[in-house]
Structure 1
Amino acid sequence: MKLGTIMLDGRPTVIARVTDDTAVAVPYTWMEDLIEAGSAGLDSAAEAIVKAKAGTLPVIDLAGADWMAPNPKPSKILGCAVNNNNLNSKAYKPMTAPMFFIKGRSALTGHNKTIDILKDHGQSIPEPEPVVIFGKRAKNVAPEDALDYVFGYTLTNDVTASGVKFSQDAIALKQTPDLVKPHHTAWREKFGDDDTYLYFIYHAKSKGADTFASMGPWITTKDEVKDPNKLKVRGYIDGECYTEDSTANYFFPVERVISEATKWFTMELGDCIHTGTASKGTEKHPRGNVGTYLGLYDGKLTDVEVEGLGRLSNRVNLEK
């Protein structure tokens, strides 16, 4: 089943897909209400689909629909950083655990909306990836139990403004040797005993700006996703495929990502995790997503396609 949220007659409305081009309203204002209702929520959506096909409930034409993110009100959105073997092949040392950043719900936007790039964001890149939507509260979950906490999956364009990240939100502090501890430099190459630089990068502006968490259009319920670690992922810019990858290329599988997240954060019903970007390039775009600069495509479409989950489209909007 595929579920989404649109603005209909000025109100948020949860919908269920009937056909590729049509949907039916489900009696919930917010997606979290449907998720919290459990099997009763899914049953009501399934019943609405049957009635729409039978002509006893009105069908919504999705042409020109005002899409919101499928769940517009998560308490938090986590992203799993650099979770791709193509990227980690360049790491000085392999990661020992998934790394996370956080986006606020103000970063959310929906299908067919703009992704807004400010001048100060500088060089910005797309990151196509699946998203886990939690179906219940999760804390200290073992990897083997992780998928039991999933309600469904959607897709995101997890935009990264590397320009602002490295120009405004990164700093190297030259410390005195007595302040530098082994854990400060264990993760990087150290250039002699006088290398006492500590490096800091902050991700709020570069990862969590408005519209930098485009999601949707649909949540696909987990019963329709056989294995989240075997999904083809593609990214498009102005109609050209710049990355063709798979979640099989993740450094950490989805179950480990979920488990690690719940070690540090209590994941609430409706919360989201971006599980890892697609990165592998194509013949015309050999650098993949890291060589695809949204600033060159003002007014053009950037799309994310994930096998079984659908296709998310947004238009690039550069600050003039």
Structure 2
Amino acid sequence: MHLLTFEIKTGETKIGVRFNEEVYSLNAVIRAYNETERKSIAEETSLESIIQKNELSGIREAWNWALENRGKTETSRYAIQDVKVKEPLSNPGKVVCVGNNYMDHCIEQNVAPPKKPMIFSKWATSLIGNGETIELPEESEQVDYEVELTVVIGKTARNVTEEEAMDYVFGYTIMNDVSARDVQFEDVQWVRGKSYDTFAPLGPVIVTKDEIEDPHNLGISLEINGEKLQDSNTSNLIFKIPYIISYLSQGFTFEPGDIIATGTPHGVGVFRDPQIFLQSGDTCKLDIESIGTLENKVR
């Protein structure tokens, strides 16, 4: 399922499932299914609550029924262009990021690949949704882009093995790890330069892990104003998802709804010649195969 949070024209926020060019209100589907089939599947309040429960069997049951009974779900459906897609998660407990995790990204910097995952974090207040605006801070002239496959944790994880690690994954989404390079490098510690408000566009959906057979074989790319600047495949990740989860869980506890941005491939602006940085009026378009497109303007 492609789960999302969206806002309709009245301003009401709903949770839903995207299917082709339509969005289904999940709770409307559940109500229709319960009434028609005399079921008692509980409605949901947010994607966070769904992830906390980590139990999708009832939702899948209702969703499969909706796909087979489209005539009974007309009031549940919205055209994608008629809704505002919001960030799927608004306040994850942890936004963990992995640096220098693509070999080609290390090569473009002329640095050796790390021997262990290189970890930093972003604040949750930097999250925005698809279609929202990346705001350029006055104190930076070097705001850069980074497309990243992002893992959503589904269960509490502490001291898990690599073999167990994928059992703790709920799904996948896309993040643009927007970075003020001048601030980042001046501070040495990266958090401030990576965590300005609006510096973590996320979405547009969370794809449940059953829908992606191999997260380590997905095309991943980024365009600015139609020019493709990053183009790679997640097969080029140095540290794979099971290792990252296991390695980090030895040090701290993951909780449901935490997210891990797994790193960006080559092509970031700061290491180009000449350098390319985001400018007011730009449009960032990020694509990851089997997940979708995350698009944001810059101001």
Fold-level similarity (TM above 0.5): yes
Equivalent in the alignment of 2:40: none
Equivalent in the alignment of 1:293: 277
Q: Which amino acid aligns with 1:97?
A: K
Instruction: Name which of structure 1's ranges 1-10 and 126-135 shifts more when overlaid on structure 2.
Output: 1-10
TM-score under structure 2 length normalisation: 0.86
State how far apart, in whole Å, the 1-side matches of 2:14 and 2:144 are: 31
From 31, 34, 39, the equivalent of 2:56 is 39
Equivalent in the alignment of 2:202: 215
Distance change (3 Å), C-alpha of 1:40 and 1:165: same
Q: Which amino acid aligns with 2:276?
A: T
Matched, 1:65 2:83: yes
Instruction: Name which of structure 1's ranges 267-276 and 85-94 shifts more when overlaid on structure 2.
Output: 85-94
- CA shift at 1:290, angstroms? 9.9
Distance change (3 Å), C-alpha of 1:150 and 1:246: same
Give 3-state SS (helix, strand or coil) of 1:120's partner.
coil
Per-residue Cα deviation, 1:103-129 (whole angstroms, up to 9, x for no partner): 222111000111111121220110001
Per-residue Cα deviation, 1:200-239 (whole angstroms, up to 9, x for no partner): x122221111111101111111111111111110100001
Contact 1:26/1:48, CA 8 A, preserved across alignment: no
Contact 1:280/1:289, CA 8 A, preserved across alignment: no
Give 3-state SS (helix, strand or coil) of 1:121's partner.
coil
State how far apart, in whole Å, the 1-side matches of 2:291 and 2:244 are: 19
Instruction: Name which of structure 1's ranges 59-68 and 228-237 shifts more when overlaid on structure 2.
Output: 59-68
Give 5+ residue unaligned stretches, structure 2: 28-43
From 218, 227, 240, the equivalent of 1:253 is 240
State how far apart, in whole Å, the 1-side matches of 2:297 and 2:66 are: 30
Give 3-state SS (helix, strand or coil) of 2:192's partner.
helix
Equivalent in the alignment of 1:240: 227
Give 3-state SS (helix, strand or coil) of 2:217's partner.
coil
State how far apart, in whole Å, the 1-side matches of 2:132 and 2:65 are: 27
Between the aligned residues of both structures, percent identity stands at 32
From 126, 129, 141, the equivalent of 2:145 is 126
Matched, 1:304 2:286: yes
Contact 1:123/1:162, CA 8 A, preserved across alignment: yes
Give 3-state SS (helix, strand or coil) of 1:5's partner.
strand
Contact 2:66/2:73, CA 8 A, preserved across alignment: no
- CA shift at 1:306, angstroms? 0.4
Instruction: Name which of structure 1's ranges 62-71 and 78-87 shifts more when overlaid on structure 2.
Output: 62-71
Equivalent in the alignment of 1:109: 128
Give 3-state SS (helix, strand or coil) of 1:122's partner.
coil
State how far apart, in whole Å, the 2-side matches of 1:46 and 1:40 are: 10
- CA shift at 1:48, angstroms? 6.9
- CA shift at 1:261, angstroms? 2.1
Q: Which amino acid aligns with 2:136?
A: I
Contact 1:12/1:30, CA 8 A, preserved across alignment: no
- CA shift at 1:75, angstroms? 0.9
State how far apart, in whole Å, the 1-side matches of 2:96 and 2:227 are: 28
State how far apart, in whole Å, the 2-side matches of 1:117 and 1:52 are: 46
Which aligned pairs between 1:159-238 and structure 2 lie closer than 5 A?
Answer: 159-167=178-186, 169=187, 201-238=188-225
- CA shift at 1:262, angstroms? 1.5
Per-residue Cα deviation, 1:154-210 (whole angstroms, up to 9, x for no partner): 01111111011234x2xxxxxxxxxxxxxxxxxxxxxxxxxxxxxxx1222211111
State how far apart, in whole Å, the 1-side matches of 2:273 and 2:93 are: 28
- CA shift at 1:271, angstroms? 0.9
Give 3-state SS (helix, strand or coil) of 2:59's partner.
helix
State how far apart, in whole Å, the 2-side matches of 1:289 and 1:15 are: 43
Contact 2:66/2:72, CA 8 A, preserved across alignment: no
- CA shift at 1:77, angstroms? 0.8
Contact 1:114/1:315, CA 8 A, preserved across alignment: yes
From 75, 79, 86, the equivalent of 2:97 is 79
From 161, 165, 186, the equivalent of 1:146 is 165
> Radius of gyration: which is bigger?
1
Instruction: Name which of structure 1's ranges 53-62 and 120-129 shifts more when overlaid on structure 2.
Output: 53-62
Equivalent in the alignment of 1:23: 23
Contact 2:103/2:113, CA 8 A, preserved across alignment: no
State how far apart, in whole Å, the 1-side matches of 2:175 and 2:69 are: 29
Contact 1:141/1:259, CA 8 A, preserved across alignment: yes
Give 5+ residue unaligned stretches, structure 1: 170-200
